[in-house]
Structure formats: structure tokens, C-alpha cells
Structure 1
Amino acid sequence: MPLTDLRQYIEALRSLGEIQDIDAPVSLNLELGAIIRRCNETGAPAPLFKAFSDHPSGFRILGAPGGASRQAGRQLVRVATSLGLPPNSTGQDIVEAIAGSLDLPPIDPVIVDDAPCFENVRTGDDVDLNLLPVPLIHHGDGGRYLNTWGCIVARTPDGSWTNWSIARMMLVDGKRMSGIVAPQQHVGMVAKAWADIGKPMPFALALGVEPAIPFICGMPLPDYVNESGRLGALLGRPIKTVRCRTVDLEAPASAEILIEGHLHLDESVQEGPMGEFAGYVPLEPVMRRPVYRVSAISHRDDAILPVVAAGEPVEENHTAWGIPSAAQILHDLRAAGLAVTTAWMPLQAALHWLVVTVPRDWRRRTGIEESKALCEKIGKTIFATKAGAVVPKVIVLNDDVDPTDTDELVWAFATRCHPFLGHANFDHIDAAPLLAYLRTSEKVSGATGKIVYNCLPPDEWGEILPIRASFRHGFPPEIVDRVKQRWGEYGFR
């Protein structure tokens, strides 16, 4: 059965050993964030907090909703379960499923008359964001962050494009929030369209939605593509939405908490810093960001707020942003006529690496003769896309390497990458300002240098590859099978 709300998802994870109920009261002031961070870094089950020492009862918090698992063979069980795939799906399985759906026609959402989030509704003067359990997640954060895993709904003034996205939102006071609204990001583009006609942008923030939605919100789809329709194509069914009470928008009907209001680009407050996907709390001076003014808060009884504690891998930026980004890039590379087996953003590289693998006969399939020329075309294709704007370093390997296996990837990069020959360098390319190593001038300009590491064999080898001295590659298949079958007979567990 499809998982159409957060509570169904939690029970599915519970049956898979991926939920840890926490009944002991926990402080929203750093303790909760520290628990989530430790769960991220150890692969522990997702913590479900039921009581808080510094906030009244009536709400729960789910931490690490899309994090990685320590279960053998099921590292991505939360990702796979969220997307309706088998729990033992590999990274390559998930990327292929998402990439394949991009060629399917969209399935647009359907509007329903009512939703459980309207069990409790506050509008106007009754609005108070402080009634929600908003945590201080990291030591060094500039404030408490309400939105770390929610779906922001925005629509252009002409109604032609409805965008779903994720972006951090910090609590300012009982009726205001603030966060990054980058002009090159989709929510920034929609907000500018409203500002151009002299109006604030209506928005809805749906928190605690059905589990697949954050993954499409984190996917860098092309401009003017509706995320809701693409998610419908991936799941093979329409997403249910419901009309908001105070703005002319439809939001996911599965929301545990629904916040409505308007984004004012002409009003700003200090926002941040916040621990982010690269694994650091930035040292830059506090920035002024636009203000979200809230006109309505609705929530279910005993509502559940999902919380992501961004930082060192692996956390949801690396799964819900990195994996869909790899799928989009894989689709784009294939559409450009490149023979690509897979694309993968290694979770431990915190969105700073992308690996592209190609078959040994890539010359015959592409008509490109030199490996450097192939790397140059791969780089030009990737860096011209929205998904590629984040990626600063691309690694190109033969597809005998599994890029989702970090041990294998490190070995292959170390032994196949020439120190200075064959790489494709790109100057002054668009870059995400949150990349960890950027200089101040690069952050201000939004551009930096990027590279495609050529880890393919020397061109003089042709299609010949050396035999790998490993169990999987270094023995005849019948010997590999025999050893696997007799493993217990040898005395191994």
C-alpha cells in the first residue's frame, strides 16, 4: 500500500526497525539536535520524540526522517521506503527509478475538500508560531529553525508555475519567519515575479507531509516544471492537495502542520548562521534575509514536526538533495547522447563530489575518441544545468567501479587518477555559496572554478582494462559462486 502520510511512514519504518521511540522529556534547546546528530552519525533508527522538558505537550518531533541506516544492506532503507521502493534498494536502484520517471508524463495532483491538518486552526491575531516546538538545533545557530524538512508551496502571479521546494526557515517571533531566498533558486524566482508587480508572494509551508514529497522538493528540476506532477509520475498516482484558508494556494493534504502567509522581499531581518550540508556552521557575518509573515497556522491533534539536523554526512541534504540531483544529472547526460552507466553523489562527500561511470566501449557509443574530450563534454553538460550548479568536482570512472561503495570509490580514485593529465578544468562557473571551501569573493560573485577528474585509462589502452585483483573481479564466476556457497562450510559466519 502507498504511504500517503507521515504516520503511515513512521509505522512502516517501525516494522523495519528504523524508529526509536523516546518517551523521556528532551530539551528543545540543543539536546534534541544533539540526539539527532548522533543518530545521523551512527546510523541509529530515526528518533521519535514524544515529550519536551521546555515545551508543553501536544506535539511530537521525528528526527532524521530521511537519514541513513546502519542495517547491513539497507543503508538507504528510509529513502527507498519514502519513494515506494523495496527496502533493500541500492543507491543505483533509486537513481535509476527517479531518472526513468523523468521521461513519463506528469500526473498532476488532485484537490480534496478537507484535510486532518484543519483539526486545529488559528488565523489573524490568534497566530503564534511559539506554540510549535521549534528547536535550537546546533550550537552556533543564529536562531530556532522551524522548517528543515517541509514543503514550501509558491505560485507565479499568472498561475502558470506552482513550485514545491525546501529551504531553511528561522523563527523570528510569533508571526514571522526568515530564511535564504536565493534569486537563482525557484522560490526566489517566484518571489521576484510577485515583487515585480508590487506584491508579496503568497506561500504555504506544509510540515510533516507524506514521505516522498521532500525528495521531489529537494530535486533540482528545470525551471517552470511543477514538482507535484513529476512526483505523481514517479509514484504512479496523483498527490492529494487541499486549499489553504488564507492564501490562494493548494498544499499537500497530508501535512501535519500547515502554515500560510506572504513572503516580503522588501522587509528583512537578521537570519542565521545555521549548521549546513557541508558540515560546518559558517563563520560569515550574519546576513539579512526576507521575511515570511504568517496569516494562519493549522495542525493535526498530536501533530508531528519532522526535524533535520544538517551537518556532517550522512543527513537529509545528502539523501533527499544529493540522490535526486544525481538522477537528474544522469537523465541530462543520457539526453546529451553520452554513454553513461550511472551517476552518484557519494553521501560522505556532502554534495561536493559527483561520480559518473561509463562503459569501456564509450568511444564507440559516443563517437568521442579522447578521454579528456569526453570529460569536457560531461562537464559542459553538467555545469549548464540547475543540478550541476551545486557540484564543484566530478569524477569520471569506468563502470567496473560501484560509485555507491565508498571503499571501492576511494581505491579507484587513488589508483586511476593521474595527478595532472587529462582533467577538464572550468573557470568562473556558477556555484552554490554554501560550498565549504569558497573564498569570500567567490561567495559574493556566486562563481568558482570546477573540475572533472579524468580517472579513465590512458587513451593508448583502448578498451583494455587491467584485471582487478579482488574477490568479485579477480576469479572466474564459478569460483566466486562456489566460495559464496561454501562460506559457512569453511567456518565463517
Structure 2
Amino acid sequence: MTRLNDLRGYLGALEALGDLRRIDRPVDPHLEAAAVTRRSTEQRRPAPLFETVTGADPGFRLAGALGALSSVPGHPYARLALSLGLPHTATAAHIVDRLVAARARAPIAPKLVPSDGAPCKDHVLLGADGRLDRFPRPLIHQNDGAPYLNTWGVIVARTPDGRWTNWSISRVMMIDNYHLTGLVLPQQHLGMIWQEWEKIGEPMPYALVQGGDPGLAVVGGMTLPAGADESAYLGALYGEPVEVVRCETVDLDVPYGAEVVIEGHLSAHRDATEGPFAEFHGWALAETSPQPVFSVEAITYRDAPIWPLCAAGRPVDDSHLAPTAGVSAELVATLRGAGLPVSTAWLPLGTACHWMVITVPGDWRASLPGVNTAEFVHRIGEVMNGCRVGRMCPATFVLDDDIDPANDSDLLWALGTRIHPALRQESWSGPIMPWYPCYTEEELHAGHGSIVVHDGLLPAVGEGRVPPATFEGVYPPDLRARVLEAEAEAR
């Protein structure tokens, strides 16, 4: 598969698969574009590309559902796979394996190239010319606090001493033509970097990137270790450096093929009220919070720029699929790094990323002689309790890899028949992320709660394990062969 290095190449690949729908009629960014996008995700339709957006400059466009499930029959993860340089036929396990493999490779630093001729520099707006009202300004949900300009873009930030550059996704809301605000949470890498600037009382330089390398949104939503450079990880994933150019007004680099780049500084104080916004958990909560202000000091953009949007809500949409792949891969890498045999992991999409399923190979006992299922699952829980990505999983189920955790039929059967309603589970109390409504209000405000790990492992072969009542499980090989031969002749 040839790597796609910008949003336009990615959209072209979707169109070739019949997974892109061009909408030529005028579409209002005030709710209408998001409503169409939301409908497309819920109905598994092609991704909408809005060619005419009312209120924006002529030629400025919006694209929705870029990371949602694909409409291509039999290949639900086609959009995610293409964004990572995989064939559109890749399965969930293949996608996780690719992300895990990239973690084991040496990082490939981005390549700084001259700005002259860079698509993202087709137009350069400085100072008062850099107004946001010439661009599409999508209001995503009717009760949102304001238009949310960033739902699928990446924020570039760097520590004051320059040791760590971070690319991450965080929602960002419009205040006026020159100011934005967004979630800057202390538990997330953006918040960690901002706190270093807050400590010295200086505003933090930032760049907000729309478009660019299709893998940006996936990697920006991953839970790489603190200090890791997402751009270098993306280079390891692609096997070649990401090309970047220097910003106009801040000492940061952004993808060469970005659609739009907003530059400026993030205030050193929480000066604005952010929210509310309907989120990935599927609920339109009314919560707001004090957050810092992004000043808009320059905007650069391509000819006929395309601004991506994610209409987050009840699963499954973009806000679930990319984080599922990233969190699952990071957990697999962490568990394997601890010497534990793991086949794969997957956050079941229908749970809004609240559950984690870990599968282990049938021969795991050979790797851990003398260890029973309770001890094995306890070790998994200890690792999860000790890492950030593990604490992001309120409920985890450990199962044999005879089932595919990304297949809901497999998963529901396994959960219903292998998970004891009260026994074979262990919980760990500790820090939790503040956006899981399954916790109590007290737990969410304290940032402290429990995660639980369930042991759903089967007995060893020959020690009580029974065959599944399936075509392959309860019929002899010679009969199965005759049935399959008869099927082939009848076609």
C-alpha cells in the first residue's frame, strides 16, 4: 500500500472505494453539516465532503467522518487502515499490530523542508488579517457552547526547554475571530506541557493543524508515553520521515501538506469558560470548565482548504475508532513489554471505549509455567493499574484468542458464557480520567475510582475445556470436507 501523505490523497483513496460523497448544494455549518455527518456515521454511509459552505469564503470546504467506520462492505476499518498506510482490507488485529510494531522501531524524526512551495503556505494571513470568520465554523451539536473549530485536528506544543514536542487532539471552541479556548487537562500531554509554561508565567506557543498526513489524527489521539514525539512515531509507522515546515510566527513545525494552520499563544491562565460539548461517551452533558485562551496571531492555508469535522456522540464515530486503535496498541505494547503473552487488545466500539478486551494465546501456560488463570489475570491487572493507558479502561475482560474482540457476535457470546457475574474479578483503586460517566459524580470530581479486570479464561485443553458447538467444533473433519465440497459444486 502506498502511503497517503495528505488529506487530499486520502479523500481520493476513499472516493476510489466509493466511500466518499461529494455534496455540492450549499450546506450551513451551523448544525447542518454536523447533522449530515452524524447521519452518515449512524447509517454507515460514505464520508461527506461539503463543497459549498455558507458563510465561508468561496471554495472553502468541510469534510466529515474521516475516521468513522467505512461504508465499504466487509471492511469496516477501511478509513482507519488507509490513514495508517495499510490496505483498506486490514482487520482490527492487523491495525493494532501495525501500531505496536511502530512502537518497537527507532523513531524517525520529521524532515524540515523549505516553506517555499509548501501547500500549507499558499496563503499567509498575519495579525488582523488572520480572521476566523472566512473559514467554516461548524456548530456540532445544538447545545454546544459555541462553534467547535477543532474536533479532528492536532495541536502542536513544546516544553519551554525544548525537550518534548507533542502532537495531540483536543477539542477547541471559538470565542471570537481572534480567540479560541479548549480542553487543556492536566492528565493529558497538552496539559502537562501547558503547566510548564504556566509555572513560568509565560503564554505557550502553539500551532493548530487541520488536515495533513492522514495518520495525524490517529497518532494525536494515542496514549504514547510522556516525552514521546508523535511526529517521530508517525515516521516510524510510515518508515519515512513526515515532512514539516516552520511556522510563520512561532518556533514550531507543522505538516507540509496541512490544509489550515492556526498559530499563536495559549494564555498562562485559565481565562475562559469552555463547553459544553457532546462527547464520545454518547451524552450531551452540560458541563463547562475554566480553560486557557488560544490567541490567533497568524493563519496559513492551502488553496480551497478542507476543514475536517467530527460529529462526536453515541458510538460508533471518529471519536471512537482512532482512540480505540491507539489505546489498544499501547496496552498490547505495555503488556508484552512486561513479559506477558498477549494476542491482541481492543476497546469494543459499542461501549464508547469504556471496556477493554484482552485476548491471550492458547499456549500461554507454556510461557508462564505453574501460573493459573487467576494469577495470570492478576499480573495483567497489576500492569494496567501501573500505567496511564491501563487506568483509562474502567472494565477489562481477559479472554482466550479463540474469539475476535472486534467481532461483536464473538465477544457477546464470550462475555455471556465465560464471565462469572460475581467471581473471578479484581479491582484496583487509583486515578481515573474525568470523562467516563460510568463513575459517580464524587469519583469524577476527585479523579479517583476503581478499574476492574475480569478473568474469562477457559481451562487448559484436556483439563475441562469443551469444544464450541460450531461447524468446526462438533463435526468430524471428513464430514466438514464433504459439506464444503458440496457447497463449492453448487455455486
Say if 2:169 and 2:217, in contact at 8 Å, map to a contact too.
Answer: yes
Which of 307, 320, 328 aligns to 2:322? It is 320
Which of 298, 312, 325 aligns to 1:296? It is 298
Aligned residues: 488
In the TM superposition, what whole-angstrom CA distance separates every residue of 1:216-261 from its partner, at most 9, and x where no partner exists? 1111000101111111111101000100000011111111000001
1:455 aligns with 2:475: no
User: 1:193 aligns to what SS in structure 2?
Assistant: helix
Say if 2:267 and 2:294, in contact at 8 Å, map to a contact too.
Answer: yes
User: 1:29 aligns to what SS in structure 2?
Assistant: coil
Aligned to 1:102: 103
Query: Matched residues in 2 for 1:60 and 1:472: separation?
Result: 51
Which of 370, 373, 390 aligns to 2:372? It is 370
Say if 2:335 and 2:342, in contact at 8 Å, map to a contact too.
Answer: yes
1:469 aligns with 2:469: yes
User: 2:300 aligns to what SS in structure 1?
Assistant: strand
- Which one is further off, 172-181 or 373-382? 373-382
Give the direction of change, closer, same or farther, for the CA distance of 1:479–1:305 in structure 2 (3 Å limit). farther
What is the deviation of 1:326? 0.3
Aligned to 2:285: 282
What is the deviation of 1:194? 1.5
Report the TM-score, using the length of structure 2 for normalisation: 0.96
Give the direction of change, closer, same or farther, for the CA distance of 1:293–1:474 in structure 2 (3 Å limit). farther
Give the direction of change, closer, same or farther, for the CA distance of 1:476–1:314 in structure 2 (3 Å limit). farther
Query: Matched residues in 2 for 1:212 and 1:108: separation?
Result: 15
Which of 379, 389, 395 aligns to 2:397? It is 395
In the TM superposition, what whole-angstrom CA distance separates every residue of 1:115-157 from its partner, at most 9, and x where no partner exists? 2121111111222112210111112211110111111111111
Query: Matched residues in 2 for 1:455 and 1:11: separation?
Result: 43
Aligned to 2:355: 353
Query: Matched residues in 2 for 1:67 and 1:467: separation?
Result: 36
Give the direction of change, closer, same or farther, for the CA distance of 1:450–1:489 in structure 2 (3 Å limit). same
- Which one is further off, 53-62 or 158-167? 53-62
Query: Matched residues in 2 for 1:10 and 1:111: separation?
Result: 25
1:182 aligns with 2:185: yes
Aligned to 1:258: 261
What is the deviation of 1:40? 0.9
Query: Matched residues in 2 for 1:191 and 1:480: separation?
Result: 62
Query: Matched residues in 2 for 1:201 and 1:463: separation?
Result: 60
Report the TM-score, using the length of structure 1 for normalisation: 0.95
Which of 222, 225, 239 aligns to 1:222? It is 225
The one-letter code sitting in structure 2 at the alignment partner of 1:71 is V
1:209 aligns with 2:188: no
Give the direction of change, closer, same or farther, for the CA distance of 1:294–1:389 in structure 2 (3 Å limit). farther
The one-letter code sitting in structure 2 at the alignment partner of 1:465 is R
Give the direction of change, closer, same or farther, for the CA distance of 1:173–1:401 in structure 2 (3 Å limit). same
1:383 aligns with 2:385: yes
Say if 1:360 and 1:463, in contact at 8 Å, map to a contact too.
Answer: no
User: 2:315 aligns to what SS in structure 1?
Assistant: coil
Say if 1:140 and 1:273, in contact at 8 Å, map to a contact too.
Answer: yes
- Which one is further off, 48-57 or 17-26? 48-57
Query: Matched residues in 2 for 1:78 and 1:181: separation?
Result: 28
User: 1:23 aligns to what SS in structure 2?
Assistant: strand
Say if 1:368 and 1:374, in contact at 8 Å, map to a contact too.
Answer: no
What is the deviation of 1:383? 2.8
Query: Matched residues in 2 for 1:432 and 1:6: separation?
Result: 31
Once the two structures are aligned, what percentage of the paired residues are identical? 42
- Which one is further off, 355-364 or 10-19? 355-364
Query: Matched residues in 2 for 1:294 and 1:439: separation?
Result: 38
1:409 aligns with 2:411: yes
Give the direction of change, closer, same or farther, for the CA distance of 1:476–1:268 in structure 2 (3 Å limit). farther
The one-letter code sitting in structure 1 at the alignment partner of 2:416 is A
1:85 aligns with 2:91: no
The one-letter code sitting in structure 2 at the alignment partner of 1:219 is M
Aligned to 2:244: 241
Unaligned runs of 5+ in 1: none
What is the deviation of 1:430? 1.7
Give the direction of change, closer, same or farther, for the CA distance of 1:342–1:173 in structure 2 (3 Å limit). same
1:437 aligns with 2:402: no
What is the deviation of 1:313? 1.2
Aligned to 1:145: 148
What is the deviation of 1:86? 1.2
User: 2:326 aligns to what SS in structure 1?
Assistant: helix
Which of 133, 136, 139 aligns to 1:130? It is 133
The one-letter code sitting in structure 2 at the alignment partner of 1:423 is Q
Say if 1:371 and 1:422, in contact at 8 Å, map to a contact too.
Answer: no
User: 1:327 aligns to what SS in structure 2?
Assistant: helix
In the TM superposition, what whole-angstrom CA distance separates every residue of 1:144-173 from its partner, at most 9, and x where no partner exists? 101111111111111111111000000010
What is the deviation of 1:309? 0.8
What is the deviation of 1:54? 4.0
Give the direction of change, closer, same or farther, for the CA distance of 1:486–1:66 in structure 2 (3 Å limit). farther
What is the deviation of 1:479? 5.0
Query: Matched residues in 1 for 2:476 and 2:221: separation?
Result: 43
In the TM superposition, what whole-angstrom CA distance separates every residue of 1:415-470 from its partner, at most 9, and x where no partner exists? 1111111111122x2211111222221111112111111112368x8754211112
- Which one is further off, 330-339 or 376-385? 376-385
Say if 2:459 and 2:465, in contact at 8 Å, map to a contact too.
Answer: no
In the TM superposition, what whole-angstrom CA distance separates every residue of 1:343-401 from its partner, at most 9, and x where no partner exists? 11111111101101112332331245232222221112123222223211101111111
- Which one is further off, 397-406 or 375-384? 375-384
Say if 1:117 and 1:257, in contact at 8 Å, map to a contact too.
Answer: yes
The one-letter code sitting in structure 2 at the alignment partner of 1:232 is G
The one-letter code sitting in structure 2 at the alignment partner of 1:200 is P
Query: Matched residues in 1 for 2:324 and 2:119: separation?
Result: 31
Say if 1:346 and 1:353, in contact at 8 Å, map to a contact too.
Answer: yes
Unaligned runs of 5+ in 2: none
Query: Matched residues in 2 for 1:195 and 1:462: separation?
Result: 61
Moved over 6 A (4+): none
